Amino acid sequence: MTAAQTRTADSNSAPAALIIVAAGSSTRMGGRIKKEYLPLNGGTVLSAAARIFFQTMHFTAAVIAVPAHGEQDARAALFADPDMATLIGTTQLLFVPGGATRQESVRHALEALYTAGVLPHSDSSLVLIHDGARPFVTSAIIKAAAAAAEAYGAAVPALQPVDTQKETDKNGIIIRHLQRKNLAAVQTPQAFRFYPLLDAHRKAAADGCDYTDDTEIWGKYAGSVKTVPGDSCNKKITYPGDLPQADKGASRMIRTGLGYDLHPLVEGRKLLLGGIQIPFDKGEDGHSDGDVLFHAITDALLGASGLGDIGSFFPPSDPTWKDADSAQLLRTVWEQITAAGWKLGNLDCVIALEQPKFLPYREQVRESIAKVLHADKSQIFVKAKTGEKLGVIGEGKAVEVWSVCLLEKQQA
Ligand code: MG
């Protein structure tokens, strides 16, 4: 099963499309390279921004608004993330040339969705509009914005400004002292019912006014906008200094996790370690396929992320998990952990096993684990120890595994 198939696609009931606006010229970045195309986390700012959407919700179509004649560069930036094709899956991907303003770029993207006919003519069809330069958006924000748009028609993530806000005149003189508690600094994704927004944008294009963003256009022609909690980590890359800072250790949260498991070794079962079947006359007994290594890894990763443990995700009392493929259980869990913004630093494991010898299978097992986690083999290590003929391990009655991992997450 692919990453795209295992993502939590049931998180949105309404048909939805995604628009990512990356049509600006990045003049504040010195104009040398578009900020959306700068490298980040093994991909680019644009691919990082897109990735989390595809991990969080199912989209019928995704439109990237790019500079005129800029499709090739945008495509390269998006697919710089090696997982992108899998993540996009069956979603229809479109690139449209933006306009002179953000408002115009969004309208072009909305019209492209309309022309493609990908969203049913229904009030439930949604569109999420996101800045290509906001790579640190979270699943929680995306889900909250989509759910609120479904309920209220339009939604935007917002934060109360930290600094006291003033209004000034053109000479820089303060003319109004604003109340911080009544103010909202809004972020993206902004989420809307698709057809009313398209209609509002068409009217806004005809009325000749300038609008600050899509919520203002909605507010004038369609109705009110619900705010949902934003996140200070969801910042927009604006100045060259934003990225190196975002990529520095100081802005990272780092967590370790520990996992342990033991299974009895019995005749008539397969010996599975990290998805690799090791030839032996005994194997792990257990409710699932018994892959003790995958179980310990799953618990280590869950522990580090704080999302739970293997027992709470897949209760042994639930017949669903009888003979379950432990690789699939780990994939399911890892989808949720990565959707929460975590990335793997490294994973190290110790297997306690009297027989057979593990060393000949080590590289195969490391590769198998790396594949499930979409990681590099260098991030995964596994070693084995015997029980020196002592205890349940030494007597060949059981196999035990300890696993530790390090997870990292971007922070504001
Ligand atoms: Mg187990």
Q: Kindly report the CATH number assigned to the domain that includes residue 258.
A: 3.30.1330.50
* CA 242 – ligand 1 centroid, Å: 44
Q: What confidence score (pLDDT) does residue 320 get?
A: 82
* CA 392 – ligand 1 centroid, Å: 16
Same domain, 284 and 197: no
Same domain, 234 and 363: no
Same domain, 287 and 407: yes
Distance (Å, whole) CA 151 – CA 155: 9
* CA 20 – ligand 1 centroid, Å: 42
Domain-ending residue, one of 223, 246, 269: 246
* CA 289 – ligand 1 centroid, Å: 9
Q: Which domain holds residue 294?
A: 251-411
Q: How many CA atoms lie within 13 A of 112 on its CB side?
A: 24
Same domain, 74 and 130: yes
Same domain, 234 and 209: yes
Overall pTM surpassing 0.75 (yes/no): no
Say yes or no to pLDDT of 7 above 50.
no
* CA 316 – ligand 1 centroid, Å: 9
* CA 262 – ligand 1 centroid, Å: 6
Same domain, 69 and 95: yes
Q: What is the pLDDT of residues 285-307, one digit of tens each?
A: 988 899 999 999 999 999 999 99
Distance (Å, whole) CA 257 – CA 189: 32
* CA 292 – ligand 1 centroid, Å: 5
Count of structural domains, the chain: 2
* CA 400 – ligand 1 centroid, Å: 10
Distance (Å, whole) CA 36 – CA 46: 5
| Contact (Cβ atoms closer than 8 angstroms) between residue 354 and residue 361 | no
Alpha-carbon dihedral sign for residues 338, 310, 353, 403: positive
Distance (Å, whole) CA 231 – CA 142: 11
Question: Predicted confidence band at 238 (pLDDT cuts at 50, 70, 90)?
Answer: confident
**Neighbouring residues of the ion ligand 1, judged by CB less than 5 Å:** 261, 295
Mean pLDDT of 250-263: 89
Domain-ending residue, one of 220, 246, 272: 246
Q: What confidence score (pLDDT) does residue 12 get?
A: 61
* CA 295 – ligand 1 centroid, Å: 5
Mean pLDDT of 382-406: 97
- Indicate which CATH number applies to the domain containing 57: 3.90.550.10
* CA 38 – ligand 1 centroid, Å: 42
Say yes or no to pLDDT of 202 above 90.
yes
Q: Which residues contact 357 (CB under 8 A, 6 or more apart)?
A: 384
Distance (Å, whole) CA 378 – CA 370: 9
Same domain, 67 and 173: yes
Distance (Å, whole) CA 25 – CA 29: 9
Give the residue with greater pLDDT, 202 vs 42: 202
Structure tokens at 316: 């042994």
Question: Predicted confidence band at 29 (pLDDT cuts at 50, 70, 90)?
Answer: low
Q: What confidence score (pLDDT) does residue 287 get?
A: 84
* CA 188 – ligand 1 centroid, Å: 41
Which residue's entry shows tokens 């499709």? Answer: 71
* CA 367 – ligand 1 centroid, Å: 21
Q: What is the pLDDT of residues 332-382, one digit of tens each?
A: 999 999 988 899 999 999 999 999 999 999 999 999 999 999 999 999 999
Q: What is the pLDDT of residues 155-198, one digit of tens each?
A: 999 999 989 999 999 999 999 999 998 999 999 999 999 999 99
DSSP 81-134: STTHHHHHTT-EEEEEE--SSHHHHHHHHHHHHHHHT-S-SSTT-EEEEEETT-
Question: Predicted confidence band at 5 (pLDDT cuts at 50, 70, 90)?
Answer: very low
* CA 291 – ligand 1 centroid, Å: 7
Say yes or no to pLDDT of 275 above 60.
yes
Q: What confidence score (pLDDT) does residue 174 get?
A: 96
Same domain, 231 and 266: no
* CA 329 – ligand 1 centroid, Å: 11
Same domain, 209 and 266: no
Same domain, 139 and 223: yes
Same domain, 204 and 56: yes
Same domain, 156 and 227: yes
Domain-ending residue, one of 246, 281, 307: 246
